[in-house]
Structure 1
């Protein structure tokens, strides 16, 4: 495998920016294609944004939530393009979004009709997966309904042996960890946990504490692996409120009380746990705050509530740019989503290219190595140059994307 993100190994004498304006790269880059859709049955609106195509492919999840906008999808597509570039993946970035309540009984039909409309893109270019409001199972069921089989279809049909590739991908997605969890459901949260642990290691914090907003697929797995590593997860917030224990929550026990929407059954929560309002998680005294619920969770309206020294974004664009600037003036650092929450996307492509097998240990080991090294170098370079971690990451993404322009088309075995 060719590793493109060589700037992580730059000598200290080289700031690695090469004169690139990261702000313009992030805010002004025009998407390759925007596609609008209106559901003929419910009137729901949906959007596909292809930010970049690399080797004719782009990857990015499909989300469904009431209030989802084209601007939101565009922002997420830009972020996805940066994520793939930072991790040296030979694929572009995209995003799909539907403005509809995922708990509405009509949601399945809406998702199927959205994919039917986007079928030319899904057949040839766009590889999608689960995202906010949509599980991977719902994605795959909708793909089957429109005759595409599996959500990695656009990449699989380009492979040298599509049947063998499909079998390998399905086997990987069905792989269970020692805790009987689907590897694909927890690998992203494991990556977020490693990003947090990388921060602790860099700052030499001995007894770290973490607060996590959101205990769904990403937040729940991050909480689990942090707890397993000996970190005190002192607060976890879901839709009903914040669960708090300054001595550390029993994370595995609480996660077992979740329903399918990531809500913890309050009737079975131990009496040692304090029940606080949902937004109280932001104000909990902790070393790291992990927003893992919705995009734009931390805004100028609530940024002054944040008590943590570092924010690690598990949610896509968990912190608005205005809020991030306000945090920076207080000395609060944000480790951006384009590094911290890329584990699941990177793993999916490692699986497609055969760079990891079906042994979970191989996937965990690879993600551990890549995430720890990226976070360490990110923080080192940011502190040395005075450039924010987000700008530093965008600069690396731009350098990697430019390098990919000169590469031969990636071959999927």
Structure 2
């Protein structure tokens, strides 16, 4: 499953700005694939292909009835032209959105923006391709909207925080598997956007000290634990913290210092390829939990494994939002946040326990164990669909 070529690779050129966009569909299951659409300066087709492959693993590892895809646009999301570029990209990709590709937020593209763009091109929501398969699409759409926009404690919407909650549960799963007390488990997080900020919030709620966070302006460090609610309140719309209001006791370090902070868990949650051969020696944590897609290059991961530092792969650690979205589509969870959190906590921690049990017993990397799990799940689903025992039913 991981070595085969993608089914479809599309390169698009914006007729107005000349900027490039890419779609890679790695696999279709029941005629559908899922994966977000990102926007960043320097985005490449090979990056999008890596991410689509990761989505294929993610959906299989959580036994979801859908394949993996990804979209990416080489454009700075702060560019005044960015909204128009995204809308023209979505118009061009509408045949895929109509029938096969369920997309969502990703780096540089928040969910409210992708939904606004879908509305502007005449589609109700970015889950359109799946919703239209329901017997009553309008009823399913209402259920999905209710789940996405249900408020959670703190005032944010469930759809905006569930991915970060899943990453927090991955970290808590590590602590549980290794018998660490939560209040003594220090975590460093690179990135405080939707994923990193959500993870920081829920880890803080669980009593886990966040000893460092990094954004585009640098790293903030307090070995006794940062005031996470305050720092999240100080973020702007790009996930950058207003330094003028950060307490004076907090050390201000360069952005790249986050990898060398003394912590039990390092969570790269901002960009792909954040840990490379160049900085793998700097990692001071006991375990890396990938909240960003493709956060660690293969060579860097091999180096960390040789140093006895396991990497919890992205297709497990950050799968919470994708898994939850499909549970919501399939009617397996509703608009009550407690039900969604309970399901995600159970499923995430069980997988983390499996990965670390193999690591502790044999030093097999968590990625290899996760890939094996995904391949078993996908093979069983393909066999069940071929025999007619499994069909995609969206209520």
TM-score when normalising by structure 1:
0.93
Q: How much does 1:251 deviate?
A: 0.5
Q: How much does 1:384 deviate?
A: 2.5
Q: Distance in 2 between matches of 1:201 and 1:292?
A: 21
1:258 matched to 2:240: no
Q: 1:139 aligns with which of 100, 109, 114?
A: 114
Q: Distance in 2 between matches of 1:240 and 1:296?
A: 19
1:248 matched to 2:230: no
Q: How much does 1:382 deviate?
A: 3.0
Instruction: Tell me how many residue pairs correspond in the alignment.
Output: 388
1:37 matched to 2:12: yes
Structure-2 residue corresponding to 1:54? 29
Structure-2 residue corresponding to 1:103? 78
Structure-2 residue corresponding to 1:188? 163
Q: How much does 1:204 deviate?
A: 1.2
1:280 matched to 2:247: no
* Alignment gaps of 5+ in structure 2: none
Q: Distance in 2 between matches of 1:303 and 1:43?
A: 36
Q: Distance in 1 between matches of 2:223 and 2:73?
A: 39
Q: Distance in 2 between matches of 1:293 and 1:358?
A: 28
Q: Distance in 2 between matches of 1:234 and 1:192?
A: 17
Q: Distance in 2 between matches of 1:34 and 1:403?
A: 27
Cα displacement string for residues 23-44 of structure 1 (whole angstroms, at most 9, x for unaligned residues): xx43x22111111110000001
Structure-1 residue corresponding to 2:296? 319
Q: 1:223 aligns with which of 200, 211, 225?
A: 200
Structure-2 residue corresponding to 1:6? none
TM-score when normalising by structure 2:
0.97
Q: Distance in 1 between matches of 2:52 and 2:359?
A: 24
Structure-1 residue corresponding to 2:356? 379
Q: 2:89 aligns with which of 71, 90, 114?
A: 114
* Alignment gaps of 5+ in structure 1: 1-24
Q: Distance in 1 between matches of 2:380 and 2:176?
A: 31
Q: How much does 1:303 deviate?
A: 1.0
Structure-2 residue corresponding to 1:201? 176
Q: How much does 1:409 deviate?
A: 2.4
RMSD (Å) for aligned C-alpha atoms: 0.8
* Aligned ranges 1:386-401 → 2 under 5 Å: 386-401=363-378
Structure-1 residue corresponding to 2:50? 75
1:162 matched to 2:137: yes
Q: Which runs of 4+ in 1 moved over 6 A?
A: none
Relative contact order (C-alpha < 8 Å, sep 6+): which is higher? 1
Q: Distance in 2 between matches of 1:357 and 1:328?
A: 39
